[in-house]
Chains A and B, each alone.
Chain A
């Protein structure tokens, strides 16, 4: 009986996933340039949200300064490309390494000194802001004047140098987000995934079961940071301009976390759903407030939407949607 129910579940899940995949793959052919750019935004949000979710949703360490890793990845790859001519993908590897190191240092300092919870969150903000101000004065990457990538003609798509049309970036991000999802899925089903969740639920009990909490948390920090930095690199080559005050902005850190929390913290598809819902909401709000010409209306509706979701569906939209579509429970 149980096996049958499980098989039925798998089938429904498979169908849902297949439909989604087809829709996403076909999108650029069907939609116009504006909608495509919105989809790209949504995918960025989904990707960053997934990377952040690994640290906060799985391992339970609330990071409010993740823009730090976006910035490190963006600046590393962009600056090395512009100043030294290093191919973007190699530059991104450097960026990932730097971000992983930064995350490890922050983690090591915090966990060694027993800084957890809210204090840890504040510490991540502090490191984020500190780095932003540092980059404001970092001449080699342009400081406050910004760093600009040469905008080559967009007729040829070059994946190696990341010069190309929005469609290329769309498919690239689709691939990256899918890869990120897959990695998270795999990790959740291995020893470290179980250990992360144990630490999230009850760190003391986890330790009593032989888990080296310090090391396990550090892995989460480093992985999440590296994943985020990769996305930062892609973003740099999509936007073609970087300013410390936008890349490292606390506002960006907050943007990164709203999608996964709205979608469902600690679930696999939560960040994805949240990203698409919030990006769509943002665009609708822009259109609405644009037609009414009221400053601040968009933000007001955004805040109200957040409030509504926190009040009504605090565990997120995905668990609610999942039960609605009878896709079963569990951590996915």
Chain B
């Protein structure tokens, strides 16, 4: 339990009526760190996310953010504690403008609407949406919506940003652009990031540390190089013969 750990997840579990979605998962995210959770479909990645973000309460275990126990917090309480999150299927405030979308996030901390507006314009600048601030959110393309969702979460000044399959549906060039944005963000602001992803290109390029889940349990964790060579990981993704071939 080092002092550098921002997010600590201790032995959390969650059962949904017949399915043990998450079964005793533990990991930490250090300050300024970028950690990825990967695993096949149904491994429990999004459920773990939702446990941290407050959508579900864990059946057992604890979640600590900056030393504060946030297990069982509501999503808005988790946000106030410092969790920012995006959704797997983007949820923009369709009838509001891009700027207004981000302002909703900024209003959490801003003293008034004017201050929120100023902060939001800054963030939108950083995420390359400055030329679209007055457009209505539902008119944006998918990559733009993803950037908007990120901007909105960032506007709440989170301590850690949870990205739920943010690269899904993007073309390789778009993926690279997002990776660059997040790298810059992390470098400039020291923001910690926890992401779940299927797009390996992004995972390998971004993360310092990877946690692999399978059937709700952690089967491996380590640096990208280590994880990509681990026989158990290869087995669960590619089958037994592949792992044997890798030696």
Contacts and interface: CB of A to CB of B under 8 A. Distances in A.
A161 interface: no
Given A195-B104, A209-B156, A210-B108, A201 B95 contact: yes
Given A190-B113, A191-B107, A205 B76 contact: no
Interface string B90-119: 011111100010011101100011000000
Given A202-B91, A209-B153, A211-B76, 15 more contacts: A191-B112, A194-B100, A201-B94, A202-B92, A202-B94, A205-B87, A205-B91, A206-B93, A207-B76, A207-B79, A208-B79, A208-B85, A208-B87, A209-B79, A209-B155
Interface string A161-197: 0000000000000000000000000000111001101
Looking at B76, B79, B91, B152, which has the most chain A CB atoms within 10 Å of its CB? B76
Contacts of B132: none
Nearest to A191: B107
Interface residues of B, number: 26
B108 A209 contact: yes
A212 B107 contact: no
Nearest to A204: B91
Interface residues of A, number: 20
Interface of A: 189-191, 194-195, 197-198, 201-202, 204-213, 266
Interface of B: 53, 74-76, 79-80, 85, 87, 91-96, 100, 103-105, 107-108, 112-113, 152-153, 155-156
A194 B96 CA distance: 9
Contact of A202 (B76, B93, B103): B93
A204 B105 CA distance: 13
Chain A contact residues: over half helix, strand or loop, or mixed? helix
Contacts of B156: 209-210
Contacts of A201: 92-96
B113 A189 contact: yes
Nearest to A198: B104
A197 B96 CA distance: 8
B246 to A, nearest CB: 40
Contact of B53 (A198, A208, A212, A266): A208
Contact of B104 (A189, A209, A212): A209
Contacts of A195: 104, 107
B167 to A, nearest CB: 19
B202 to A, nearest CB: 22
Contacts of A210: 76, 79-80, 105, 108, 156
Contacts of B92: 201-202, 205
A66 B150 CA distance: 39
Contacts of A211: 76, 104, 108
A134 B27 CA distance: 59
Contacts of B108: 209-211
Contacts of A202: 91-94
B138 to A, nearest CB: 9
A209 B151 CA distance: 11
B6 to A, nearest CB: 18
Nearest to B87: A205
Looking at A201, A209, A212, A213, which has the most chain B CB atoms within 10 Å of its CB? A209
